[in-house]
Amino acid sequence: MNNTTPKVSVIMPSYNTANLIGEALDSVFAQSYRNFEVIVINDGSPDTPELERVLGPYLDRIVYLKQPNRRACGARNNGISHAKGEYLAFLDSDDSWTPAYLQSQIERLEADSSLDMIYCDCMIYGDAPQAGKTFMQGCPSVGPVTFESVLTEQSQIPISGTIVRRQALINAGGFDERLAMCDDYEMWLRLAFRGARIAFYSDVLSRIRIGRPSSLSSSKSKMVAAFVTILLNVKAEWNLSVEQQALLSEKLRQVQSLLALELGKELLRKGEFGQARIQLEQANSHLRRGKLRLAIFGLRVAPSLTALAVRTWERSMQFSV
């Protein structure tokens, strides 16, 4: 790490990742690009004694911040407030980078001074069906990155593949600390809405872990509910054009239907068949899926048998009605 003012500040929140953060840090210090600082934020983690033991060998090479729990968004904001770099590179403490990550990203940003943010593709690993595939295979980015494309998820942005100009993010107000989840999506949406120029490329330079039980992304219904909250906040607080309002309303209907679907599946697993059918009917009023119609019909005539069939299907095929 260079002793001069760093060009890049690597922001790494940590919560219950003592057993994984060493791999993340090693990937940062293996970078071919060297002009960076690393800021690790202990977000009131219950594994603090073990985390600090793991961090011991790195302490002369990192900035270590310790705070009461403010969730990932608050940890990132704290890291940003201490950052010295022109650019912010975000790395979740259970993810990692390839050695060329920073070099490739910074070269692209430096080659086009109009760019405010750039992101690459990431390899997925961990205990999940998506392991071995890349992020963009499942969550593609298509065409220019705009407010509209981020809103409709034509542009999907992995935070551990992202570098952004620090001043652009500060000007946009930082991460929204009201949000328990999906704060990165809201941040990219806000940056795009404020006119930030964002680009992506398909090089696979980051590795993101999916399937860790204690991770924020482990509850699908909670994540979809957070998505709904973000869209409702945007609807209430942002000065959208008529066209943007129409796109938002359609996206909100879609996401609310997905939330009803996830809640219905959870109620099915609990054996609450009547409430499950109500949620699934609400979901299908917008989604209109054949499998979902069958599940609703089954819950009317043979609820226990239908619930058993759904559970069996989920185990064998990662079933999504």
**Residue burial 80-90, b: 16+ Cβ < 10 Å; e: rest:** beebebbbbbb
- The span from the CA of 270 to the CA of 96, in Å, is 37
The pLDDT of residue 177 is above 90: yes
pLDDT tens digit string along 42-69? 999 999 999 999 999 999 999 999 999 9
Q: Note whether 251 and 152 are within 8 A (CB).
A: yes
Residue 212 identity: R
CB atoms within 10 A of CB 113: 8
- The span from the CA of 252 to the CA of 240, in Å, is 14
Q: Is 14 helix (H, G, I), strand (E, B) or coil?
A: strand
Q: What is the pLDDT of residue 280?
A: 80
* Domain residue ranges in the chain: 8-213, 220-317
According to DSSP, residue 39 is labeled: E
Structure tokens at 162: 């992202």
Residue 141 sits at the vertex; the CA angle it makes with 157 and 175, to the nearest 5 degrees, is: 20
Beta bridge mates, 96? 207
- The span from the CA of 9 to the CA of 204, in Å, is 21
Residue 257 identity: S
According to DSSP, residue 68 is labeled: S
User: Among candidates 152, 122, 117, which has minimal Cα distance to 137?
Assistant: 122
Work out the average pLDDT over 283-310.
68
According to DSSP, residue 141 is labeled: -
The pLDDT of residue 319 is above 60: no
The pLDDT of residue 40 is above 70: yes
pLDDT tens digit string along 185-232? 999 999 999 999 999 999 999 999 987 555 444 478 899 999 999 999
Q: What is the pLDDT of residue 112?
A: 96
| Range scoring the smallest mean pLDDT among 128-142, 191-205, 249-263, 282-296 | 282-296
Tally the residues of the chain: 321
- The span from the CA of 202 to the CA of 158, in Å, is 12
Structure tokens at 232: 């409702």
Structure tokens at 25: 């840090």
- Spelled out in words, what is the top-level CATH class assigned to the domain 8-213? alpha beta
Q: What is the pLDDT of residue 297?
A: 64
CA distances from 232 to 158, 256, 260 (A): 22, 10, 16
The pLDDT of residue 167 is above 80: yes
The pLDDT of residue 2 is above 70: no
